[in-house]
Structure 1
Amino acid sequence: MGRPKQFEPDAAIDKAVDVFWRKGYALTTPQDLVHELGIGKGSLYNTFTSKHALFEQALRRYGENRVAGLVEVLEGPGSVRARLRTALERLVDAYLADPRRRGCLAVNTAAELAGVDDIAAKIVRGVFDRMESAFQAAIEEGQRGGEIDADRDSREVASLLLNASIGMSVVAKTADSPDRLRRVVDAVLTTL
């Protein structure tokens, strides 16, 4: 009979999200993970099998949380235009409130690994696809309700909103004020 686990794997994944988000995949060492998760190296490998396997779980967790937060706002009360503004402004606020200016883990991963890590690219693509679908559902709701021009291609507009979100996460890494990001939000919403 093996020794019982002395840590909660689910909590370890949450901590790993922070480590990978802060350092990136390549710069995160197994020793970083052992130290920051507060577990032994044996527990790390016995539970997660590898640094990459833990990274995959952390990236999926991050994506699930990011998409769930977006969907919660987009499916909330109020006009569709107001919900879209709130969703984009919350991204801006989150990016700028982070003292480390980490941006978005999915975007960071795409920039770091998309050309060399098919699994990471697939996970990020899934996050982006779900975000775009959430935007598209909101756009279509707005079109049915007359808030958004029904002649606009909802998928194109959703892609624009996704790309604005991605771009803002990069710009926020060096922004010294929210002005540029707020202009992006205003400009994107004007196109509706």
Structure 2
Amino acid sequence: MARAKNFDPDEAVGKAMEVFWRKGYARTTPQDLVDAIGIGRGSLYNAFAGKRDLFERSLRRYQAQETVRLIDLLDGPGSPRERVRAALTMVLDAACSDTERRGCLATNTAVELGADEAVGLLVRRIFDRQHDAFRGAIEEGQRAGEFGDDIDAVTAANFLLTTINGMRVLARADPRPARLAGLVDTAMRAL
């Protein structure tokens, strides 16, 4: 008779996500995961197909948990210009206040494992959702006269996606406010 799981797999994914976010995929060992989750190695491998499976689940959790904040802000109430500014500011503030300097799990993964087909697809899905939310806000702003009609919404959304990921990387390497000051204003002027 099989033993019942003595841990919550959903909670385990959340704890694993934190480890991967802090250390990256390559630097995270199975022992790191066992220690963080608080289970034996056998239980880890019985519940998950291995480190890679747990990482992919963690990346999906990150999308559902973290990416949704940006999208909700861009799709929420207020003028499109205010929402775009608020989204950029939220990303910058989060990056600057991250005392562990974790950055963004999706961005970190793109740098570390972007060429991996399956993981690259997960990261592209995260970036596509962010891009689509920026594009939607820009197009709405164009209809409302807040952004110029001469702006290509797809290109502008790619620019903003690149900007937020660049802010995260820069803040991870050098979170000094002087280095990051003015980035939101500069991005907004481009629109």
Task: Name the TM-score class by shorter chain.
Answer: over 0.9
Q: Deviation per CA, 1:66-108: give whole Å up to 9, x if none.
A: 3211111112222111111111111111111111111111111
Counterpart check, 1:120 vs 2:119: yes
Deviation for aligned residue 1:132: 0.4
Greater mean deviation of Cα atoms: 51-60 or 73-82: 73-82
Which AA in structure 1 matches 2:120? A
1:40 equivalent in structure 2: 40
Write out per-residue CA displacement over residues 12-58 of structure 1, whole angstroms, 9 at most, x where no aligned residue: 11111110011110110101100011111111111111100000000
Stretch of structure 1 that moved more, 147-156 or 178-187: 178-187
What is the CA–CA distance in structure 1 between the aligned matches of 2:4 and 2:175, rounded to whole Å?
48
Q: CA separation in 2, counterparts of 1:48 and 1:106?
A: 21
Question: Contact between 2:71 and 2:129, CA under 8 Å: does it hold in 1?
Answer: no
- SS across alignment from 2:78: coil
Indicate whether 1:187 and 2:186 are aligned.
yes
- The corresponding residue for 1:3 is 3
Structure 1: which 5+ runs fail to align? none
Displacement after TM superposition at 1:7 (Å): 0.7
Supply the distance in 2 between the matched residues of 1:90 and 1:179 (Cα, whole angstroms): 17
Counterpart of 2:166, as a letter, is G
Q: CA deviation at 1:163?
A: 0.2
Task: Show the 5 A alignment for 1:163-174.
Answer: 163-174=162-173
- Counterpart-to-counterpart distance in 2, 1:180 and 1:162: 19
CA contact (8 A) 1:89 1:182 kept: no
Alignment-derived partner of residue 105 in structure 1 = 105
- Please give the root-mean-square deviation of Cα atoms over the aligned residues, in Å: 1.2
Letter in 2 for 1:102: R
Task: Give 1:191 shift.
Answer: 1.2
Equivalent residue number for residue 26 of structure 1: 26
The alpha carbon displacement at 1:181 in A equals 2.6
Map 1:11-160 → 2, pairs under 5 A? 11-115=11-115, 117-160=116-159
Q: Aligned pair count? A: 191
TM-score (norm 1): 0.95
Q: Distance in 2 between matches of 1:22 and 1:173?
A: 11
Letter of the 1:172 counterpart: A
Q: How many Å separate the matches in 2 of 1:173 and 1:12?
A: 26
CA–CA separation in structure 1 for the residues paired with 2:175 and 2:150: 38
Q: Is the 8 A contact 2:85 2:184 kept in 1?
A: yes
* Equivalent-residue separation in structure 2 for 1:114 and 1:14 (angstroms): 22
Aligned 8 A contact 1:81 1:142 in 2: yes
Amino acid at match of 2:29: T
Distance in 2, matches of 1:3 and 1:176, equals 48
